[in-house]
Amino acid sequence: MSGFTVGLAIIGGLVLAALVAWNAWVTRRNTPRQPDLPTTIQATMPMDRPDGPIEPTLDAEEEEGPLGALPLPEKKPGLDNLIDVLAGIAVDAAVAGEAALAALPPTRRAGSKPFAIEGRNEVTQEWETPRAGERYTAFQAGVQMANRNGALNDIEYSEFVMKAQAFADAINGSPEFPEMRDEVARARELDQFASSHDAQLSFTLRARNAAWSPGYVNQHAARQGFVAGVIPGRMVLPASAPGGPAVLGLSFSTAAALADDPAQSAIRELTLSLDVPQVPRSEQPFVRMRDAAIALAAAMDGLITDDDGRVIPAEALDVIGNDLEQLYDTLDARDLSAGSPQARRLFS
C-alpha cells in the first residue's frame, strides 16, 4: 500500500472519529438531564398508569420537605375608599342575609372593574359580604377605581350605578351616589400613580449545554423551597405565613410538563418571576429571587439572562434591588404597601 493511500486512510479515520465524537456530543447535549435517583421528585403533572392518571408522589424522605401543600386561599379584602368608589344604601329596617343574597347582581364586575356589595352586620356592626342567617342595617356598593386594565371610565361608572340601584330597589333601600365626574377623575389619578409604580420582574435561566427534564427542574427548584403549582410547568415559592400570596413564580414549558414521556422533554429555559406589589416587603422577595436564580444557575449549569437573552451580571442584580427599595418606600407613603389588600387589588 502506498504512502498516499495510507495517508488517505488515516485522514478518513480521523474524520470518522470526529463525526462519532460530534454525534456523541450532540446526543449528550440534546438528552435532557434527569433528577438524582435517591431523591427523585416526580414531574408536576398526572402520569398515565393502567388504572388511569394519578397525582405525582414523593419519596418517603421528601414528604415533609419543601413540596408540601399549597397555601390556603386568602380571605377576600373588603371595600376601601382608597381604591373604591362607594355608594351608601340606607334601609328602613334590618334586611335578612338571605334577602340580600337573592338581590345581588349575577355578575360581580362593572366592565373590567370588580363590583361588590357589603352589609353592616346588625350584631357585630362590621361591614361584610352578606351571609345567610345574618341581618344587616345598612349596605354599601363599591366599584374599584383602577386595576391593570386601566382607570374606571364613564361607561363602567354608569354600569356600577345601574347594578347598585337594582340591588337597592330589591331590598327597598335608598342609594346615594357620589358625583361621577369627581370619581372618574379620582380614578384616573389613581391609575396614573399605579401605572408609574407597577413592577413585574422576571429572570430567564437558560441551559448552557445539556437541556433539563421536568423532573430535573422540579428537583432543583424544590431544594430552593418551590412547590408544585396548579398549572403544569409552574411552581411557586410559598409565603412565610399560611394563606399569604406566593412570593415567587417559576415556570417552564407546559407542553414539556404534559408530554407522554416527561423524562424525554427537553427544557432549555425557565422563568423566575416576581409581582412586586403583590408580595409584602417583609418577605424580602427580591433577595430570595436573586439568591434562587444564582443557586439554580450554579446547580443546573445555567445562565441568568433577561428576556432578550442578555446575561445579567451580579452587580446589575444589586442595582435592581436598590431601585425596588425606593419603590417600596413610595408605595408605603401612599398607603398602598406591597402585599397589602389594597395594593393587591389595585395591581391586579
Q: Which pLDDT band holds residue 35 (cuts at 50, 70, 90)?
A: confident
Please write the tens of the pLDDT for every residue from 2-27: 665 655 556 655 655 556 555 555 55
Listing DSSP states for 210-257 in one string gives S-B-HHHHHHHHHHTT-EE-SSTTEEEE--SSTTPPPSEEEE--HHHH
Please write the tens of the pLDDT for every residue from 195-204: 999 999 999 9
Closest to 141 measured CA to CA, from 129, 152, 131: 129
SS3 151: strand
The letter for the amino acid at 84 is: D
pLDDT at position 175 is 98
Q: What integer is the mean pLDDT of 268-293?
A: 96
Q: Is the pLDDT of residue 43 over 50?
A: no
Q: What integer is the mean pLDDT of 131-159?
A: 98
Please write the tens of the pLDDT for every residue from 86-97: 999 999 999 999
Q: Which pLDDT band holds residue 42 (cuts at 50, 70, 90)?
A: very low
- The grid coordinates of residue 63 equal 414528604
What is the pTM for the complete model shown? 0.77
Please determine, looking at this structure, whether the domain spanning 60-65+198-346 carries the CATH number 3.30.70.3460: no
Q: What integer is the mean pLDDT of 41-45?
A: 41
Q: Which pLDDT band holds residue 274 (cuts at 50, 70, 90)?
A: very high
The answer to whether the CB of 283 falls within 8 A of the CB of 290 is no
What top-level class would CATH report for the domain 84-195? Answer: alpha beta
Q: Which pLDDT band holds residue 225 (cuts at 50, 70, 90)?
A: very high
pLDDT at position 30 is 60
Please write the tens of the pLDDT for every residue from 46-104: 434 344 433 333 333 334 334 444 444 445 668 999 999 999 999 999 999 999 999 99
Q: Which pLDDT band holds residue 179 (cuts at 50, 70, 90)?
A: very high
DSSP 3-state helix, strand, coil percentages of the chain (rounded to 5)?
40, 25, 35
The pLDDT mean for the chain works out to 86
Please write the tens of the pLDDT for every residue from 313-324: 888 988 999 999
Using alpha carbons only, what angle is made at residue 246 by residues 244 and 251, rounded to the nearest 5 degrees? 165
Q: Do β-strands 173-176 and 200-207 pair in parallel, antiparallel, or remain unpaired?
A: unpaired
Q: Give the distance, in angstroms, between the CA of residue 240 and the centroid of all CA atoms in the same chain.
A: 16
Residues written for the chain:
348
